[in-house]
Homo-oligomer: A and B are copies of this chain.
Amino acid sequence: MSKAELVILDYWVSPFCLRVKIALNEKGLQYEARPEDLFGGKSELLLKSNPIYQKVPVFLHDGKPLCESTIIVSYIDETWSSPPLLPSCPYGRAQARFWADYIDKKVFDASGNIWRSKGEVPVEAKKEFIKILKQLEEALGDKDYFNGATFGFVDIIAIPLTCWFLAVEKIGGFTVAEECPKISSWTKRCLQRESVAKVVPDPEKVYEFVLMFRKMQGID
């Protein structure tokens, strides 16, 4: 079998792109992360490959496009089976998909309600964000990773979002470590993995990006 050509249409700070890169790293696959200029103008390839949402990430497997990060991570897991990211039994897979879906629906929007806020951050926005993390903390329990002893699907979906938490903390005036210590330990544990550490940006850089974004949008 000739080597597959794997390309990600990428943006460095996007947690959704990071998911795809971590999944490929976990599988030990080589890929090209092709940066998109989201503010200057998206590539023709991006617009053609993801006509519905026109968003990164797009994953191209031998030229065939796939969109939506959670779906891409599932595809990667089904295409390259080792090491498995999703549990082997259908019930375990359904549980993992439930939490991945919960994270997709809740975390980024709730963090945005803090880091995008104009003036003082509403107390409700902070409460909601912490409530969501506490829910995840309950799902994590005393396990090392969401599925137990092994880093897997739900961890890949969740961990990229945490590099935005410093910005959320600085703008929101609280710390995740104090509110949700287990999520904080889990984050550190995940960041020790090479697959994660080599792609997740420095939270200070993400904070600078957020400040730049706030200026661009006229928030500050």
Residue positions of A touching B, CB distance < 8 A: 52, 61, 64, 66-68, 71-72, 74-75, 78-79, 90-91, 93-94, 97-98, 101-102, 135
Contacts and interface: CB of A to CB of B under 8 A. Distances in A.
A75 B52 contact: no
B101 A75 contact: no
A64 B78 contact: no
A96 to B, nearest CB: 10
Given A52-B135, A97-B71, A135-B52, A90 B102 contact: no
Given A79-B90, A90-B78, A93-B78, A71 B101 contact: yes
Nearest to A72: B94
Nearest to A100: B71
A75 B64 CA distance: 27
Contacts of A135: 52
Q: Which secondary structure dominates chain A's binding surface?
A: helix
A101 B90 CA distance: 19
B71 A90 contact: no
A81 to B, nearest CB: 10
A79 B192 CA distance: 35
Contact of A75 (B75, B94, B102): B94
Q: Chain B CB within 10 Å — which of A68, A71, A94, A97 has the most?
A: A94
Given A71-B101, A74-B97, 20 more contacts: A52-B102, A64-B91, A66-B91, A66-B94, A66-B98, A68-B97, A68-B98, A68-B101, A71-B94, A71-B98, A72-B94, A74-B93, A74-B94, A75-B90, A75-B91, A75-B93, A75-B94, A78-B90, A78-B93, A79-B90
